[in-house]
Amino acid sequence: MDRTTRGLIAQAALVIVDFDGTLAHLDVDWMSLKAALKRHAYARGWVWNPSLGLEANLRALQVQQGRTAFLEACDVVAQAEQEGFSPAFLNRPLYEALRQRSGPTAICSINTRVALDEILRDPVFAGFTPMLMAKEDVHQPKPHPEGLQRLCEMLQIEPADALFIGDRPTDATAAQALGMPFCWAPAFPSPTAAQPFIPQLT
């Protein structure tokens, strides 16, 4: 990670990070997951449009079948996300910089809260307690800025004083909509070369 990014992370009143692709990489076979969700939906008589993406189908399901059906489908996603996490896939330079901060840190992700809650119980995250804004927590996912805005409101921090770090254009668009500074996620080593990360507790 370059010195400029480290400085931004240290100085921001609030740092918000995306999860998959930014703080860590989840090794999920998304095509297989979409197929499993389609079977899950069809078995219950729900509409599932194969021409739409996973997120669009989940949001349509919530509108058509209600919150309970949406959460049930999210549980299927959560299982795959949990199974796809390994400490070897952690973005260690970014994680170290976040742990060294004195101010608040949050995660704003379209990953499920169920999965993130479980993943953050991994020993590698001991002592790391970011605020979460996940798939189930918002009505409109990124690129809509709802999640980022709610985090700022909850922590009473102006968007202009925060920093969002992500890896996708939708992340950048969400930050831009709020006038929130944004920087691209720093690259992290290949998981095959990664060594177990032992956090330095302070």
What percentage of the chain exceeds 70 in pLDDT?
Answer: 93
Helix (H, G, I), strand (E, B) or coil at 109: coil
Q: How confident is the model at residue 151 (pLDDT cuts 50, 70, 90)?
A: very high
Whole-number mean pLDDT of the chain?
A: 92
Residues 6+ apart with CB under 8 A from 51: none
Q: What are all long-range contacts of 56-65, with beta carbons under 8 Å and residues at least 24 apart?
A: 58/135, 59/141
Cα–Cα distances in Å, from 199 out to 6, 8, 14, 154?
Answer: 17, 21, 21, 28
Q: Is the pLDDT of residue 62 over 90?
A: yes
Fold of 3-25+87-193: Rossmann fold (3.40.50)
Give phi and psi for 17, each to the nearest 5. Answer: -125, 145
14-17: strand order across its sheet? 131-133, 105-108, 14-17, 162-166, 182-184
Q: Is 43 exposed, middle or buried (0-12, 13-18, 19+ CB in 10 A)?
A: exposed
Enclosing H/E stretch for 84: none
Q: How confident is the model at residue 188 (pLDDT cuts 50, 70, 90)?
A: low
Q: Is the pLDDT of residue 201 over 90?
A: no
Q: Is the pLDDT of residue 72 over 90?
A: yes
Residue ranges of domains in the chain: 3-25+87-193, 30-83
Q: How confident is the model at residue 131 (pLDDT cuts 50, 70, 90)?
A: very high
Q: What pLDDT was estimated at residue 81?
A: 98
- Rounded to whole angstroms, the Cα distance separating 27 from 145 reads 26
Q: Which among 94, 106, 134, 126 is positioned nearest to 199, based on CA atoms?
A: 126
Could you tell me the pTM of the whole model? 0.91
pLDDT tens-place string over residues 73-124: 999 999 999 999 999 999 999 999 999 999 999 999 999 999 999 999 999 9
